[in-house]
Amino acid sequence: MQQKSFEEQVRLDVQRALEEDVGTGDLTAALVPADRMALATIICREAAVICGQPWVDEVLRQVAPGARARWLLQDGDQCEPGQKIVEIEGAARELLTAERTCLNWLQTLSAVATKTAMYVEAVAGTAASILDTRKTIPGLRVAQKYAVRCGGGKNHRMGLFDAILIKENHIAAAGSLSSAFKAAQASILPVTFIQVEVETIRQLEEALEVGVKMVLLDNMSLPNIRDAVTLVHGRCSLEISGGVTFENVRAYAETGVDRISVGALIKDIKAVDFSMRFLDKPVER
């Protein structure tokens, strides 16, 4: 399956969102005179990291191609409660139709970026990077992983197609950690990395013996993670996953691991509150 470009994925994301919201037409917006123009502002009602500009711009391209958007903040910027994010001038009918879809993208992606920024700040000063996982809303992976980057985090693999992560079920199916890793090394397909997941110190020792350079410590206790860091002593990169929360992420980071992957960045979010407001006196075209 051929991977889509970022721009094409944004276009398809927005097309799908508009199909489910607008369908055959916006019955309520049709009540507004066709020649009525409007100036609208989108406001964020709480402190947040802004994210979603490419998707909002694409909504306008598809619904209100004559509209002009002036962004006052960029993706990755921090905003304060009540702050204006963007001003949009265009046909009132079209802006009314675009409103909810624009806000949906902003509220969802800003939520991911905001949560990611909290975790990144929590580990500041340590060697650990914050990464996402594949625990995304189906169909929104590109968008949500973009939001993680806007929040200062890093992306793990995009999907099953760009990197190899050998987990416990792969090891069981292959017969051993060594067998699975050697098969990965023999692969002729381009991959960004080969990583092996381990659950015990003994498995970590086996991974080191066969030359694994990236190890994922799965659901290990803090004492065991500290032992793992000591054992590895720079021979491979260490990532931890499982059981990581905002309350304990700093303690995990201080063990000396290189990477911390956190599913909650994407799957446990609360939408950020945005609203669109029109001027009281619309402008005639």
Mean pLDDT, residues 210-223: 96
- Clarify whether 135 is annotated catalytic: yes
Classify 72 as helix, strand or coil: coil
Question: pLDDT band for position 1 (50/70/90)?
Answer: low
Contact 110, 78 (CB under 8 A): no
Contact 119, 240 (CB under 8 A): no
- Clarify whether 167 is annotated catalytic: yes
CA distance 101 to 92: 15
| Residue 280: predicted pLDDT | 62
Catalytic residue selected from 61, 135, 149, 226: 135
Q: Under 8 Å CB-to-CB from 281, ≥6 apart: which residues?
A: none
Question: pLDDT band for position 190 (50/70/90)?
Answer: confident
Catalytic residue selected from 100, 134, 250, 267: 100
Share the mean pLDDT of the chain.
95
Looking at domain 6-119+270-284, which of 3.40.50.720, 2.170.140.10, 1.10.10.10, 3.90.1170.20 is its CATH number?
3.90.1170.20
What is the per-residue pLDDT across 228-265, written as a single tens digit (0 to 9) for each?
A: 999 999 999 999 999 999 999 999 999 999 999 999 99
Class of 125-267 in CATH: alpha beta
- Clarify whether 284 is annotated catalytic: no
| Residue 15: predicted pLDDT | 98
Catalytic residue selected from 61, 134, 154, 167: 167
Residues paired with 90 in a beta bridge? 38
Q: Which residue is it, tokens 């005179």?
A: 33
- Give yes or no on whether 6-119+270-284 and 125-267 have one common fold: no
- Clarify whether 227 is annotated catalytic: no
Domain segments of the chain as ranges: 6-119+270-284, 125-267
CA distance 131 to 78: 20
- Clarify whether 202 is annotated catalytic: no
Phi then psi for residue 185, to 5 deg, are: -65, -30
Catalytic residue selected from 46, 77, 162, 218: 218
What is the distance in angstroms between the CA of the first residue and the CA of the last residue of the chain? 46
